[in-house]
Structure 1
């Protein structure tokens, strides 16, 4: 399974969102390729929507499965204030928290129970592992 991400954001949080994406996307692709998910054909496309309260109605969450393309589009609304004022760790946890609910939808891509369990385990440990990698790289 391939993971790819972009975002729909209100400009002031664009840099924070991109910083987190640049950590999460390669981490998840590596973790997926080293697990049973490596044999799952399909794509998890993550497009979090990070908008202030007054714009949330115009930019609703819109996750859906695209059967012909074998793509699950995960497009939740995330907490704008976390990306505006939160720490990197808070932003990372919010970002990953938006991906994690995709687990049951992977069955639509043909994921087995084992693959869904691997996905859940990866998501449950991703923030901690990414933070540890960053700390190790900086120090």
Structure 2
């Protein structure tokens, strides 16, 4: 029984550590890489208007990163409205920066599902 509790504690620590590191990566991208990311979209009206209206605060950078994420998403409703030059910018966007943008929300979803699974596992174990 002690091995199960040790396994439970180690899984919870792993999930919280992964969530914390993912949050740190998200902050790094928002505050240090956003200018570099937006530099690839010189011809896109959505990015230019986001830079003018959203600002440089935490919320503004979050909105601007969300705009970039919407442009890079394959099934986005924004994509057909882009002009040809912005489509070329999306095609030329580097893979290493695309991973920094697309991966953290997916990791957050995985951590949340893992925490829900661990919580339900803890409730199940407490009945026996």
Which of the two has greater strand per residue? 1
TM-score past 0.5 threshold: no
Tell which has more relative contact order, 1 or 2 (C-alpha 8 A, sep 6+). 2
Structure exhibiting the larger radius of gyration computed from Cα positions: 2
Which of the two has greater helix per residue? 2
TM-score normalised by L of structure 1: 0.32
